[in-house]
Amino acid sequence: MFTATLLTNPTLPSLDGTLVENLRNAWGGDTVHWLAVEEAAEFALPAKPDNLWEVWADLQKMGVDLVVQPTEGRRKKMLLADMDSTMIEQECIDELADEAGVGDRVKDITARAMNGELDFEGALTERVGLLKGLDQGVIAEVLAERITFMPGGKALLATMKAEGAYAALVSGGFTAFTAKVATELGFDENRANTLLVADEKLTGDVGRPILGREAKVQALKEITERLGFAHEDVMAVGDGANDLGMLGLAGAGVALHAKPSVAAECDIRINHGDLTALLYIQGYAKSEFAGL
């Protein structure tokens, strides 16, 4: 048995009931259940439709995300999340680079690295090198003035944790940022790279080993083994090429507002919804959300 979930941007809820019913009828689905009025709905299916991606593409033009997944086991026991452009709306290194006066150079490298055009480790060390000499205090300023949370994150963490789930933040960014974000949102642990500092200034280097794509996969393996979970029990979410390993290994890998080359490799693609989409696709109704 499968479940089809349709959802829209919660700030502009526009999911049409007729559209949902028509799709349910075309696919021979069961009764439609509304998870949030005009925002998210689901129905059961006997099999995965052959024309899924054609329908998905048509719905994207209407501002609607569509996810079809096995019904059994879709409510997960663990959340493994990327940070930059996933749990927060920015790329931390880009914000630091703006303060260092090298914003354009760094943003170009970041975009190419996240799209999989550059080796992550090499791209990270090159970008961090451009931050050499930046005052350590700028990190706190960026955190306070430039970093904003992705909508829906607090509800996602609070709701899953209320149901007993474990949450880990695993980033190719920096511990100075993940520590703050993890605390604010309620993650149980966080892993990231360490910016090296000497005489209260950034040295232009990071601690080794560098946490990249393989380290995120390793985090999934280590944490699930420690907690006695299967990989199928995990929902992973990210947007960049260095997230693909963990997205592929997790029971549910969600490409959230992801680079096209990344989304193309994932069965769960959220382009219009926010982080609450990760609750809807697990079958949570908005009335069940915690932390709102």
- Please indicate, yes or no, whether residues 135 and 27 belong to a single structural domain of this protein: no
Q: Which residues of the chain fall below pLDDT 50?
A: none
| Tokens found for residue 159 | 């709701």
Domain final residue pick, 46, 72, 98: 72
Give the pLDDT score at 205. 95
Each residue's pLDDT tens digit, 96-145: 999 989 999 999 988 888 888 888 888 899 999 999 999 999 999 999 99
- Please indicate, yes or no, whether residues 98 and 190 belong to a single structural domain of this protein: yes
Q: What is the set of active-site residues?
A: 82, 84
- Please indicate, yes or no, whether residues 151 and 190 belong to a single structural domain of this protein: yes
Distances in Å between the Cα of 8 and the Cα atoms of 13, 67, 275 are 6, 12, 11
Give the pLDDT score at 116. 83
Domain final residue pick, 42, 72, 102: 72
Helices 92-100 + 137-145 axis angle, to 10: 120
Distances in Å between the Cα of 110 and the Cα atoms of 103, 169, 178, 251 are 10, 20, 18, 28
| Tokens found for residue 84 | 């930059």
Give the pLDDT score at 292. 67
Separation between Cα atoms, residue 248 and residue 130, nearest integer Å: 32
Q: What CATH number is attached to the domain comprising 8?
A: 3.30.70.260
Each residue's pLDDT tens digit, 238-269: 999 999 999 999 999 999 999 888 999 999 99
- Please indicate, yes or no, whether residues 55 and 195 belong to a single structural domain of this protein: no
Separation between Cα atoms, residue 226 and residue 258, nearest integer Å: 29
Range of the domain at 156: 76-292
- Please indicate, yes or no, whether residues 25 and 108 belong to a single structural domain of this protein: no
Domain final residue pick, 72, 88, 113: 72
- Please indicate, yes or no, whether residues 83 and 60 belong to a single structural domain of this protein: no
Count of domains forming the chain: 2
